[in-house]
């Protein structure tokens, strides 16, 4: 079945540091890929998505590129802020978009 | 973007009582809604998938008689935790998929349930 493997956390960075959170997936067909962010005590918010190979999703300075050859969708940000501290979930939706398969989540803490 | 709203955001109930959580898609029709449970510092566990007008499909290990799901309209799904016990205390999150064939799933804000 489909699966998503995320870089284990927690990740602690200083403000303005470069962020990479690795995500790889296993799926049949052509899934859509997502990054969701969860702030403390809240639900999940869609951060960005990509629906086909070589697509780049971007939002709020975050980027991720759908790499079919490496089955990856790594999340990057050039300069993190304290307000980026949250849990980040990589997810995929199968071609029928029936449901999401989540990674385990990566806790990011950004220190001032 | 699309908005999904959950209510209540926090609820405390006594052991043995039932509690209902609502999930509404505010600006789109959701043919499919999903209910998740999240334990502290863990990922989301899919409990069930509900399609408007039909019975919910429960994941293995989830008691359908305990977690009643109703998806009576294209904008509302409800989760009722029946005869709640302290071990049911958790963060429950719903999500909804747009009914126009879109493949993006939007999440509600989550509901904290505490059973005392």
User: What is the structure's pLDDT at B65?
Assistant: 94
| A1 close to B (CB below 8 A) | no
Q: Residues A6-12: what's their mean pLDDT?
A: 90
- Tell me how crowded residue B26 is: count the other CB atoms within 10 A of its CB: 11
Alpha-carbon distance of A62 to A52, in angstroms, equals 18
Structure-token pair, residue A82: 């304290």
Q: Residues A15-28: what's their mean pLDDT?
A: 95
User: What is the structure's pLDDT at A62?
Assistant: 98
Alpha-carbon distance of A61 to A79, in angstroms, equals 8
The answer, yes or no, to whether residue B38 has pLDDT greater than 60, is yes
Weakest mean pLDDT among A46-55, A102-111, B37-46: B37-46
The answer, yes or no, to whether residue B19 has pLDDT greater than 90, is yes
Query: Sign of the CA dihedral A98, B42, B107, A56?
Result: negative
Indicate yes or no: CB of A44 within 8 angstroms of CB of B44: yes
User: What is the structure's pLDDT at A55?
Assistant: 95
Alpha-carbon distance of A105 to A10, in angstroms, equals 9
Q: How far is A72 from chain B (nearest CA, A)?
A: 19
Q: What is the pLDDT of residues A53-111, one digit of tens each?
A: 999 999 999 999 999 999 999 999 999 999 999 999 999 987 665 678 889 899 999 99
User: Chains A, B: CB contacts under 8 A, how many?
Assistant: 54
The answer, yes or no, to whether residue A45 has pLDDT greater than 70, is yes
Alpha-carbon distance of A65 to A71, in angstroms, equals 10
User: What is the structure's pLDDT at B54?
Assistant: 83
Query: Using a CB-CB distance cutoff of 8 angstroms, which residues of chain A are in contact with residue B93?
Result: 43-44
Q: What is the pLDDT of residues B53-107, one digit of tens each?
A: 888 999 999 999 999 999 888 899 999 999 999 999 999 999 998 766 556 788 8
Partner residue opposite A43 with nearest CB, options B41, B42, B108? B108
Q: Which of B23, B36, B103, B109 to mutate to test the interface with A (most CBs of A within 10 A)?
A: B103
Residue A84 φ/ψ, nearest 5 degrees: -80, -5
With tokens 């959580």, the residue in question is B21
CB A110 within 8 A of CB A84: yes
SS3 A37: strand
Alpha-carbon distance of B58 to B61, in angstroms, equals 8
Partner residue opposite A105 with nearest CB, options B43, B93, B109? B43
Query: Using a CB-CB distance cutoff of 8 angstroms, which residues of chain A are in contact with residue B34?
Result: 99-100
Q: How far apart are the first and last CA of chain B?
A: 37
Identity of the highest mean pLDDT range in A35-49, A52-66, A84-98, B17-31 = A52-66
Q: Residues A37-63: what's their mean pLDDT?
A: 92
């Amino acid at each position: 079945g489909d699966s998503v493997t995320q870089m284990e956390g927690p990740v602690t960075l200083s403000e303005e540091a470069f962020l990479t959170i690795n995500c790889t997936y296993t799926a049949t067909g052509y899934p859509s890929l997502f990054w969701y962010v969860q702030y403390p005590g809240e639900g999940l918010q869609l951060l960005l998505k990509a629906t086909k190979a070589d697509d780049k999703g971007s939002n709020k300075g975050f980027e991720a590129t759908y790499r079919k050859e490496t089955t990856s969708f790594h999340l990057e940000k050039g300069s993190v802020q304290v307000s980026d501290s949250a849990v980040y979930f990589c997810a995929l939706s199968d071609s029928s978009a029936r449901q999401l398969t989540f990674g385990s989540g990566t806790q990011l803490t950004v220190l001032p | 973007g699309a908005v999904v709203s959950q209510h209540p955001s926090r609820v405390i109930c006594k052991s043995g009582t039932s509690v209902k959580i609502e999930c509404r898609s505010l600006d789109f029709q959701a043919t499919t809604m999903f209910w998740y449970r999240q334990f502290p510092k863990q990922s989301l566990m899919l409990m069930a998938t509900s399609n408007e007008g039909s019975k919910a499909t429960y994941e293995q290990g989830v008691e359908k008689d305990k977690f009643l799901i109703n998806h009576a309209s294209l904008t509302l799904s409800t989760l009722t935790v029946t005869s709640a016990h302290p071990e049911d205390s958790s963060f429950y999150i719903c999500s909804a998929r747009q009914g126009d064939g879109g493949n993006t799933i939007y999440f509600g804000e989550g509901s904290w349930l505490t059973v005392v």
